Amino acid sequence: MSRFVLLDDADPTIQYDGEWTIDAEQYNHLENPVAISGQHRTTGNSSLSFSFQGTYFSLYGTMATTNDTISTMSAPPVWECTIDGHVIQSAPIPTNAQNRFTYCVVNDLEPETTHQFTLRAQATEAAPIWVDKFQLLPSETQYWASLSNYDVMLSGGFDSSIRYGPNWVPLQGNSYAKSTSVSGSSLQLDFIGTKVAWITTSSGLIDTQSRGSYSLNGGPPIEFSIGDQQLPRGLSTLFETEELPRNRHTLKVDYEGFGTPLLLHHFAIQAGDFFNRDPRALGPALDGLRVEPLPDPPRNQPSGHNVGAIVGGVVGGVAILLALAGIAAWSIYQRRRRRSAEKVEERVEPWIYAWQVEGRPNVSTSAGLKNAIHGPQHSAGPSISSSNAELLATAPRPIFSKSQVSRTESQPAVHEGSVDPPAYTPIQ
């Protein structure tokens, strides 16, 4: 089954004759949207012609003249449409000024025949005629490979490439569209093309604002709002993606709620596939038209949250290492301090002084040894006996020897800096 193709008025296969100009005005105050590229506009006697292969054709553009204003015009706009030289019925002047006004429609054309469409127009400055889009239902021929500047319409209600999740229902009174009002609803679209626009329909009423998001090819979500502004009645663009290489892409849309429902009338896919088929089932050549290479996927980069976690982990690790190093340094310091104290105690041990007297056993002395070393000390006490004095006079100089002795709890250690001399036992 074919999809509707919207051919832009700027397509080079369209031949314009007469007083045509490019009008970039969007006329957003009117119902339905205008192509961003603008429209062809005539205010005189003009014509256009276009050849195509397909079974359906219609032409539309902006119409500012209405039934209320036509009576005041000396020369209302006039137009005539023909297919293969046969005049086809034209639409009457509308009751309301609008964009996407349909000038003429024709159905049931021979699919394999090249048809010639012609528009002849008579307009004035007060009553211009605008040409925006040609809508076609193509036949399966190679002719379509020559087209450019076109969009493909994927009906929200019928196209098989749209995969709906739960809670989507047909729009009341319009089976061509679908809607959802349940938060968490989603849909996915696989498409071939370079850009996709979500076309919604509005009653013109403002409801409670809702939000949604879309993502392309598994990329990050991009948020959009619903119902936060006054929309014209009819069709309007809810969001439009960035420009993409012509290839197969995946669009995922999520509805977050909780006010205005999310409505889908159709998708407009720039340079899309003309036929209703799942692009996932096609080979590398896709639809047989041009295929552009996809860019290399971006390398995984840590997000802001991951960077913060990494920095925090590094800082925490450094802090732990510093704490462990401090504990180790303090332990080493304490160990060295204990060893130093033990060495000091080993150096400052009590000394036992003794001398050897030939023919006598070793004896300890206190005052006697003191007198032997420093000479007799005179005091008011009793004097040394003559026998002892004789002994001391003939005694050799004392010999000092170190002897390690064990210390009991009742014997305090001798520390450096002590001024008390060791005690000696006098010779009896």
pLDDT tens by residue, 67-84: 888 888 888 899 999 999
Q: Mapped to the 3 state alphabet, what secondary structure does the chain carry?
A: CECEEEEECCCCCCEEECCEEEECCCCCCCECCCCCCCEEEECCEEEEEEEEEEEEEEEEEEECCCHHHHCCCCCCCEEEEEECCEEECECCCCCCCEEEEEEEEECCCCCCCEEEEEEEEECCCCCCEEECEEEEEECCCHHHHHCCCEEEEEECCCCCCEEECCCCEEECCEEEEEEECCCCCEEEEEEEECEEEEEEEECCCCCCCEEEEEEECCCCCEEEEECCCCCCCEEEEEEECCCCCCEEEEEEEEEEECCCCEEECEEEEECCCCECCCHHHCCCCCCCCCCCCCCCCCCCCCCHHHHHHHHHHHHHHHHHHHHHHHHHHHHHHHHHHHHHHHHHHHHCCCCCECECCCCCCCECCCHHHHHHHHCCCCCCCCCCCHHHHHHHHHCCCCCECCCCCCCCCCCCCCCCCCCCCCCCCCCC
C-alpha triplet 386, 391, 397: angle, nearest 5°: 140
Q: How confident is the model at residue 138 (pLDDT cuts 50, 70, 90)?
A: confident
For residue 289, the model assigns a pLDDT of 87
Q: Based on the domain organization, do 132 and 233 belong to the same domain?
A: no
At residue 106, the pLDDT reads 95
271-317 residue pLDDT tens: 999 888 889 999 999 988 889 998 876 565 554 455 566 667 777 77
Predicted pLDDT at 124: 94
Range of the structural domain that residue 391 is part of: 345-377+387-404+424-428
Q: How confident is the model at residue 85 (pLDDT cuts 50, 70, 90)?
A: very high
Look at residue 410 and tell me whether its pLDDT is greater than 70: no
pTM, full prediction: 0.65
CA-derived radius of gyration, the chain: 53
- Claim to verify: residue 137 and residue 35 sit in the same structural domain: yes
Distance of alpha carbon 426 from alpha carbon 31, whole angstroms: 132
The pLDDT > 90 percentage for the chain reads 44
Specify whether 130 is located in the same domain as 19.
yes
Q: Among 55-64, 158-167, 378-387, whose mean pLDDT is lowest?
A: 378-387
Residue 25 pLDDT greater than 70, yes or no = yes
Shared domain for 134 and 244, answered yes or no, is no
Provide the CATH number for the domain around residue 220: 2.60.120.260
The last residue of a domain, from among 148, 174, 203 = 148
- Does residue 271 sit within a domain? yes
Considering the domain architecture, whether residues 62 and 138 belong to the same structural domain is answered as yes
319 in a structural domain: no
Each residue's pLDDT tens digit, 106-125:
999 998 899 999 999 999 99
Is residue 306 assigned to a domain? no
Q: With a cut of 70, say whether residue 395 has pLDDT above it.
A: no
| Domain match, 223 and 94 both | no
370: confidence class by pLDDT, cuts 50, 70, 90: very low
Across residues 324-340, what is the average pLDDT? 75
Q: Is residue 411 part of a domain?
A: no
**Residue 182 clears pLDDT 90, i.e. is over it:** yes
Smallest CA-to-CA distance from 189 within 98, 267, 103 is with 267
Which amino acid is located at 313 in the chain? G
Considering the domain boundaries, does residue 332 fall inside one? Answer: no
Do 208 and 239 reside in the same domain of the chain? yes
Least confident span in 26-30, 94-98, 145-149: 145-149
- 95, pLDDT greater than 80: yes
Q: Is the pLDDT of residue 415 over 60?
A: no
Please tell me whether residues 126 and 169 are part of one structural domain. Answer: no
Taking 50 as the threshold, does the pLDDT of residue 325 lie above it? yes
Does 413 fall in a domain?
Answer: no
Are residues 139 and 167 part of one domain? no
Of 281, 307, 324, the one marking the end of a domain is 281
Average pLDDT (153-175) is 89
Could you tell me if residue 62 is inside a domain?
yes
- 382 or 201, greater pLDDT: 201
pLDDT, greater one: 213 or 332: 213
- Structural domains counted in the chain: 3
By percentage, how much of the chain surpasses pLDDT 70?
Answer: 72
Q: Is the pLDDT of residue 403 over 50?
A: no
Query: 281, 304, 336: which is the final residue of a domain?
Result: 281
Sheet holding 169-171, edge to edge: 169-171, 174-180, 262-264
* pLDDT for 371 beyond 60: no
Please check whether residues 358 and 269 belong to one and the same domain: no
Mean pLDDT of the chain: 79
pLDDT at 29: 83
User: Residue 322: its pLDDT value, please?
Assistant: 78
- 108 and 51 fall within a common domain: yes
Q: Is the dihedral of CA 384, 388, 394, 399 positive or negative?
A: negative
Flag whether pLDDT at 340 surpasses 80.
Answer: no
* Residues 261, 197 within the same domain: yes
Residue 296 within a domain: no
